[in-house]
Structure 1
Amino acid sequence: MGDTVYFQRLFDANYLKLCHVANRIVKDKDDARDIVQQAFLNFWERSNHWHTIQSHEAYLYSSVYHSSIAYFKKSKVHVSSQDHTFSAHTLDTPLEELSFMELEKNIIKAISKLPPKCREIFLLSREEELSYKLIAERLNISTKTVEAQMGIALKRLREDLSAQIPDKIFFLLFF
C-alpha cells in the first residue's frame, strides 16, 4: 500500500514536468506522454529496487531524457529545404555521439546533485520555462529567493561541469 501511495505522489508531482522535457526533444505531445508513461511503468516494475536509486526524481528525469533522445534518433525526422533533406541529428561520428551522450549524462548528474529546492527552481526555470515571478508565485517564495537559488544552481553547475564545458558553451546551454 505504501509503494502505491508513494508512486502516485511521485507521478502527480512529476508527470507534467517530465512531459514537458520529453516534448521539448521529440516535438510531439502524444509521443512525449507515451515516453513519460513508459518511464513511470518501468520505474513501477523496478519497485523492488527503489532502495538502490539515490534520487527517484533524477532517475525518472534521466530515463525520460534518454528515452526521448533515443526516440528522436530513431524517428527519421528530416527538414526539407530547397529540394535538400537535412538530418535533424547533426553529430557526424560515433565518437562525437559518445562524447555528447557523456556530456548529457554529466549534466543530468550535476543537476541531480543540486539541493532539492535549488534543483526544483532550476528545473522550473529551464525545463518549464517559467519566469522567476511565476516560480516565486508557484512555490510561495519571493522573487529574490528564486534569483538567489538560480545563482547558486548556475554557479554549482558551472563548477561541476567546468572540465567538460568551456564557459562560452556553458553560457549557451544554460542562459
Structure 2
Amino acid sequence: MDTDEVKTYYLSYFRKLVLFACKYVGDMDLAQDLVQDVFVSLLNKPVEKIENPDAFFYTATKRKCLDHIKTQTIRSAHHENILSVSESVFHDDAVEKTELENHLLSIINELPGKCKEIFLQSRFEGKSNLLIAEEMQLSKRTVETQISKALKKIREGLTGFKNILLTIF
C-alpha cells in the first residue's frame, strides 16, 4: 500500500476511529495516538490490499486499544508491587532504626555519671571540650578521656547492630 492510499484511508477513517478508540481507553488524546499508530503501522508494514476497510481499521484499532489496556494493567500491577515492596523495606528500616536508637540511648544511660554528662553535653548539646571542662571545672584532657571512654562503650554495645548501621549510614 502506498502513501497516497494510506492518506486516503486516514482522511476517511481517522475521526470515526478516534471516537471508537475513545470508548475503550476513555481519553481522546490517547485515542488519537493509538489510531495514528494504526496508520503508521500501515506505512511501516506494507499491506497488499484491504478487502474490507471498515472491518480492517476497526479491528486494528480495537486490537491497538486492547494491547494498550493490557500493557497499562501490567505496568500498574508492577508499580503496585514495587510500592508494596518499597513500603515494606522502608518500614523494616524504620523499625531497625528505632531499635538502634533505643539501644543507643540505653547504652548512653548506662554510662557512669560524669562520663554520661560529659558525653551528652559534647554530642547532644554541641558544646566544645574546652567549654565542658570550664563549666565542670575539669581539665580539657579529662573531658577528652571521658568522651573516648563513652565512645568505646557505645562501639562495644553496638556490635550486634553492625548490619543495621551499614544499611542506615
| TM-score (normalizing by structure 2) | 0.44
Greater C-alpha Rg: 2
| TM-score (normalizing by structure 1) | 0.42
